[in-house]
A and B are shown apart, each in its own frame.
Chain A
Amino acid sequence: MTAASRNHYSPPWGDASIIGVAGSSGSGKTTLALAIVASLNLPWVVIMSMDSFYKPLTLMESRAAFRNEFDFDSPDAIDFDLLVDKLSDIKQGRVAEVPVYSFEKHNRLEQTTTIYSPHVLILEGIFALHDQRVLDMLDLKIFAEADADLCLSRRLVRDVKERGRDIEGCIKQWFGFVKPNFYKYVAPQREIADIIIPRGIENKVAISMISGQIGKTLSHKSVKHRLELSRLGKIAEDSPLSPNALILEQTNQVKGIHTLLMDPNTSREDYLFYFDRMAGMLIEKAVDFLPLEPAQVITPQGNVYMGLRKTAEVSAVVILRGGSAFETGLRRSIPDCRTGRILIQTNYRTGEPELHYRALPNNIAEHGLVLLLDPQMSSGGAALMAARVLTDHGVPEDRIIFVTYLAGRVGVNRVLSVFPDVRVVVARMGDDMEDRWVETKYLGC
């Protein structure tokens, strides 16, 4: 397939909505953001705090900071370049590694937090509405307002309890930096906010208004995603099965096992046994794509043999829950196979696939081959999403092999029209949009 015929797929996180929440220190931005997230209770609405983007301090600055003489409340303390970078990654649906800032050490820690695939991101920080480049990416601008006395008392409690400061130092900081900076930099953000929320968390009306607004954004994204999937389905319907879909040779054994697997009278014990056997055949077929290099070995009798040796590792990513049915077969051939897991659930109301969870090997982008395992592909929606998750994590398309027991032509074509270099290894072609029964029978529920 040429680059021209490659279709674009935009996952629901492909164009993330970003909401900025600014306000004075202690005005309850974090609490507000948490309340909004809690009221929605969806894994794809996440909070990112601007505290993560404090610049690492030099030795001199750090000493000043420990004397409470460093100005953390000026925009200069924030690494806006890095923030803009990460925001634009998130906006475009890429993986963003967000720094972790330690208030005890006044420095960034080694580890990072990964933010990936939010449909809505809430950015909270005193200067969330400060930088024009950030403002350009925001879909909603909120300013949280609170009485100054309340702000000071909240800040004292937080800094002493959670950030290990002493009370004199905090008061010194408040009057030295926080208060003057508030008037200079923070308060002017009020003017460009779309919504100003007084009284923070107690303001139930405001919280439910904003949650409602985000809910609308989410359902709009869901509709767009479903339209996207059906658009790709139309393209797939009109084309013959892609040559990158490889069907297992239908030998007598393969056909015999199909017969047993599809026969409703087959006992569960037999079903498991024969499915594992079939999974083994599929895995052996899939690993044949692993790039190998010539290797010379010496046999115990001293003879030379010119063979092949692998140069990179094969790993697998199981699409939960069905993909776990492949694991017994997988471990027969590759007992120590690194295995990532992705939970994609189809929303029973809308039929839209939703990404709930992901845990991938760290160096997955360097593996020689990544087997994406799911026993059944019908619409191809989940498969498309899973392939997109892998490419977002840097796995080259031509190293992805989607391994499945049963697939429909439209589903396969839908995935391969977006990712023409991905390969699909399948044991049998079934109906388009066939109900999922393979894993239900394997797992027994």
Chain B
Amino acid sequence: MRSASTRTTRVVASLAGTAAVALVLAGCSGGSTGGSTSGSAITIGTTDKVTVLDPAGSYDNGSFAVMNQVFPFLMNTPYGSPDVEPDIAESAEFTSPTEYTVKLKPGLKFANGNDLTSSDVKFTFDRQVAINDENGPASLLYNLDSVAAPDDTTVVFTLKSADDQVFPQILSSPAGPIVDEDVFSATELTSDEDIVAGKAFAGQYEITNYDFNNLISYKAFDGYEGVLGAAKSDQINVKYYADSSNLKLDIQEGNIDVAFRSLSATDIDDLKGNDKVKVVDGPGGEIRYIVFNFDTQPFGAKTPEADPAKALAVRQAVADLIDRDEIADQVYKGTYTPLYSYVPAGLTGATESLKAPYGDGNGGPDADKAKSTLEAAGVTGPVELSLQYSNDHYGPSSGDEYALIKDQLESSGLFTVNLETTEWVQYSKDRTTDVYPAYQLGWFPDYSDADNYLTPFFLTENFLANHYDNPAVNDLILKQAVTTDPAERTAIIEQIQDAVAADLSTVPYLQGAQVAVTGTTIEGTSDTLDASFKFRYGALTKG
């Protein structure tokens, strides 16, 4: 048994060795050589899916994960911090309320030798807006009016509304990767093949080999001079899996060095007890919450027995009854942690606004409290609640998660839950057309700022379309976005969370942790599992 596995390892190692030679040869012929760092190639496995490499044509986690390695940003989050700093820029600041000026570092180059100048930056954002691809992130640039490049290293963004505190964050979002104007088309998406062949890369890594959704090979790019510093490992291979159990077996058997996103809770739990691997985790940006439709929920505005007070009592009772610890432990085995606010822990301004007012006041459930809340509002008899979840969008455990929530609500005797699930496309349509009284949603942030957890949800016109309307909250959200003083802004953000916690537009209950499983010789994983929610391969080393 043992000999078989060591033999396999040896074969793999020797193969990797010859491949590395081939890669180096290929790299030399290309004109640029890798960095001076040592160590053999690191193989990372993931169940992410890439759609397109072109930043104008994709708005998904899998593609963005690749872009983060190979494209530079004007603003980016350094290791270990949720807040953005200039990346390939020397400085970035508001030079007037509606003008955001970025100064690039001088002498920047792309991996293909082209100069990276302000003209490329202007090109990047102009094409993002012009192409406005149906799968692209152009809508994030909602506040961008125009871009100007007065000289080679200066870029001036003219904004529609003044003092936008979120704009620097947007420059680090999926709308922000800087591309080469000599390789990319100004009017349409550029194919992955052309991007790879044109070596239009200027991030920590360049792609040397691209086998779509199967295998991507990276080589450190020594021309990167941004905030993250040079990549610590020269060679990275990323294998794409479709099935997390195969990923788990490969990391367990030592066929790959790192498994990142997404192993099931059972897998991670099992690997924690395995000496041959390390399980490393960090804060995650993903949150799960139950949305209430203010029109159609029990006692909602459009129901026959409409009564705002009773409706609020129903939401409060749900918040009282949910046992977050039980869900996190039983269903997710600690790969998700209880969430007591709208902004997840780890981000600047995060509170625990729901902890004190609901349940036992310590995060646990309290059936008596829920009962008295309902009685006080005059709700008699069990409340009938239709609860929807998506069985195919938020991972394989949603079914178990919601079966448990149903059980928690029903075992109090206060609710009769009618649990239903619908496939994702129909779900997305139904949830915004008032079909679901209460339903599951999750959120993956576009950028690491509390704003991204508030603006989309609690403005009067929001992404949830759940008819939540609190003018005070609406004004506060608009205000924090233009408050230039950080401390003042944080205070407002905390205030917003408290206000929404009283209204319970949604009941947040889980926050996903980022979990990577690595071989024992891999170091640096914890450096990149930070609140930027960007997994940088450049932090990893293999001893």
Q: Do A and B actually bind?
A: no
Q: Which residues of B contact A (CB under 8 A)?
A: none
Q: Which residues of A contact B (CB under 8 A)?
A: none
